[in-house]
Structure 1
Amino acid sequence: MNKNNNFWLRLEQLVASCNLKIDRPKGTPHPRYSFFVYPLDYGNLENTSSGDEDGIDVWLGSLSERKVTGIICCIDSEKKDSEIKILLGCTSQEAQDILSIHNTGSQSAILLKRGD
């Protein structure tokens, strides 16, 4: 097994071992930026931690199989932080839409799709 496949396997294992908490359902406005409406369910993996000391962020797409389809790596030069966002069950179009969201303002992001 190559290292790339090992990464996705370990990420799948992490996701499978944690509860997914959706705290921002599709169609709801952002709590601080009411102009932004979540196009997909957004939440985090409970009992995990990331750079912002919250759980690892997850975008949940429309595919019926909840398989890790990619990750978004993003930085925010204004807040001076970085994070990853797991894409779970996202179509290619949903992944591109999420990438666009994280490439606005002071944010810059890259999409790593499973299989790349």
Structure 2
Amino acid sequence: MTDFENNAFFWQKIDTLYLSNKLEILREKGAKHPDYSNLIYPVDYGRLKDTQAATSEGITVFKGSQKSSTVSALIIAADILKKDLQTKLILGCTPEEEEKVLRFLNHTDFQKTVLIRRGQEIPNWGLTD
């Protein structure tokens, strides 16, 4: 792994982004998707207020059952219908909840996602004497 891949400084910035904006829960765990009634949200779903994303509605957050103030993973979604890429934050999810979120987001052939887990490495260029 190179110094620029999945390093602690990147995740520090993601945590700052999350902690400096208010999370607005739009759909609680168990709610039906507004367009696809057969899809049930596996965890709370919301957006960070006063942030920007490809949809310009704010950065998406999937919040699990564990209390946490740090982002544990990111999901990158490729959507060929919307012709875009989206980044989603994962917060306080158990491994089982992460898997359920991935199944929820990968339910169609038009959108596929990958999960990037938090790294803890500090790059050599970030160390000082």
Q: TM-score, normalised by structure 1?
A: 0.92
| Secondary structure, counterpart of 2:55 in structure 1 | coil
Alignment partner of 2:37 out of 31, 34, 39: 34
Asked if residue 95 in structure 1 is aligned to residue 109 in structure 2, the reply is no
Q: Is the 8 A contact 2:15 2:69 kept in 1?
A: no
Question: Which structure has more RCO (C-alpha within 8 Å, separation ≥ 6)?
Answer: 2
CA distance in 2, matches of 1:77, 1:43: 22
Q: Which residue in the other structure is 1:112 paired with? A: 116
Alignment partner of 1:86 out of 89, 94, 100: 89
Alignment size in residue pairs: 115
Q: Which residue in the other structure is 2:72 paired with? A: 69
CA distance in 1, matches of 2:81, 2:46: 23
Q: Which residue in the other structure is 2:23 paired with? A: 20
Q: Which residue in the other structure is 1:46 paired with? A: 49
Moved more, 39-48 or 78-87: 78-87
Unaligned runs of at least 5 residues, structure 1: none
Q: After TM superposition, where is structure 1 displaced by more than 6 Å over at least 4 residues in a row?
A: none
Unaligned runs of at least 5 residues, structure 2: 121-129
Structure with max Cα Rg: 2
Give, in angstroms, the shift of residue 39 of structure 1.
1.1
Identity of matched residues, %: 38
Give, in angstroms, the shift of residue 13 of structure 1.
0.5
Give, in angstroms, the shift of residue 112 of structure 1.
0.2
CA-atom RMSD in angstroms: 1.4
Q: TM-score, normalised by structure 2?
A: 0.83
